[in-house]
Amino acid sequence: MRLSKRSEVDPFIVMDVMDAAAAAEAAGRDIIHMEVGQPGTPAPEGARAKLVDAMQKGPLGYTVALGIPALRQRIARHYGERHDIDLDPARVIVTSGSSAGFLLAFTALFDAGDRVALGAPGYPSYRQILSALSLTPVDIATRKENRFQPAPEEMPDDVKGLIVASPANPSGTMLDRAAMEALVAWSASKDAALVSDEIYHGIEYERKAVSALEITDDAYVINSFSKYFSMTGWRIGWMVVPQSHLRAVERLAQNMFICAPHASQIAALGALDCGEELAANLAVYRKNRALMLEGLPKAGFADIAPPDGAFYIYADVSGITDDSAALARDILDKADVAVTPGLDFDKARGHQTLRFSYARSTADIEEGLNRLAAYMRREGHIG
């Protein structure tokens, strides 16, 4: 039995790194995890308590495809609280994580063969999901001068859409309002769909991230409870779509997913009211970021773009190697630190980059930096 050409997507390399790190741990080694963007904190206490209460009251069956009304209403209020946007709850669609949001968005917006632009470096699953849907991802080689964010003058004219992410993975950089406005204007001028990945909103350090919804209603916005709300394994997120697209996305959601997990929807509703706990998590990321910005250059990883948000640092290691995958394996084997090679994020230039995550505890970050520095000294990369 043959496989489809759509199935011939690249692996998600960070998952392979996670597998290698798990095997090392199973063999009794103590691994510091800087490879995966997974918070070291549990779901907020209020989220867990709300789910326990709901489970005691009765079964949690199917919900309507767009999500329980109370959660959609609370997400809409979240935009008022955070961005001063009066958002109609009807435009909110609850999804099984941001991944389901991307599947729904790309299926609703594009036809087979359409070309869709995305910045490189960027989240690899955009490219793989597009390819699996018989769409053509078009990498835009972003520049450090633009903080690894796409700019209108770099865009080809023949694309049907543009995916942006702010804060971005792997760089942690953000689009300011002027840059977001320029991309919105470019998309409108080319009749190209704009998909804004905002899953790291809330994890910002010196200024608040701008939502595309502050500028236009004619965009798809994807968000998630995974990162800021520490709910990666709960697989719960949301998207905001133009009113005129709502029924089309609803039909797709009904058939593809039926609904997002009811239990996760209940927990997400509780998470939105846990501001104090979430602020405490952010304080940890802020401390970890400071440690990384000081410690990575001392360890020999100096060519970086300081992140505005998220919990990643993207480092140019071209002065050390032309094979970032081999370097990542060597660091895991000899330093017991798991890091991600840049090939996940940039097919053309990723062989010369690494991504470091600082989502875990401060103690882990401190130990990881010590191990990295010791490794680089042993290998002769620093004095």
- Domain spans of the chain? 5-42+276-377, 58-273
Q: How many residues does the chain have?
A: 383
What does the pLDDT look like over 31-53, one tens digit per residue?
999 999 999 999 999 999 999 99
What does the pLDDT look like over 53-83, one tens digit per residue?
999 998 999 999 999 999 999 999 999 999 9
**Cα separation, 118 vs 378, whole angstroms:** 39
Burial 141-166 (b: 16+ CB within 10 A, else e): ebeeebbbbbbeeebeeebbbbbbbb
What does the pLDDT look like over 22-33, one tens digit per residue?
999 999 999 999
CA distances from 257 to 70, 101, 125, 187, 291 (A): 20, 11, 19, 29, 41
Q: Helix 124-132 to helix 97-109 angle, to the nearest 10 degrees?
A: 50
Overall fold of domain 58-273: Aspartate Aminotransferase; domain 2 (3.40.640)
What does the pLDDT look like over 223-247, one tens digit per residue?
999 999 999 999 999 999 999 999 9
Is residue 167 within 8 Å of 313, Cβ to Cβ?
A: no
> Percent helix, strand and coil across the chain, each rounded to 5?
45, 15, 40
Whether pLDDT at 375 is above 80: yes
Residue 119, phi then psi, degrees to nearest 5: -70, 145
In this structure, CATH architecture of domain 5-42+276-377: 3-Layer(aba) Sandwich (3.40)
Residue 182: CB partners within 8 Å, gap ≥ 6?
Answer: 151, 152
For the chain, helix (H) and strand (E) counts, in that order, are 11, 12
Burial 63-90 (b: 16+ CB within 10 A, else e): bebbbbeebbbbbbebbeeebeeebebe
Same fold, 5-42+276-377 and 58-273: yes
Share above pLDDT 90 across residues of the chain, in percent, rounded to a whole number: 94
Query: Parallel, antiparallel, or unpaired: how do β-strands 92-95 and 161-165 relate?
Result: unpaired
Mean pLDDT of the chain: 96
CA distances from 287 to 32, 47, 114, 296, 315 (A): 17, 25, 43, 14, 19
344 pLDDT tier (thresholds 50, 70, 90): confident
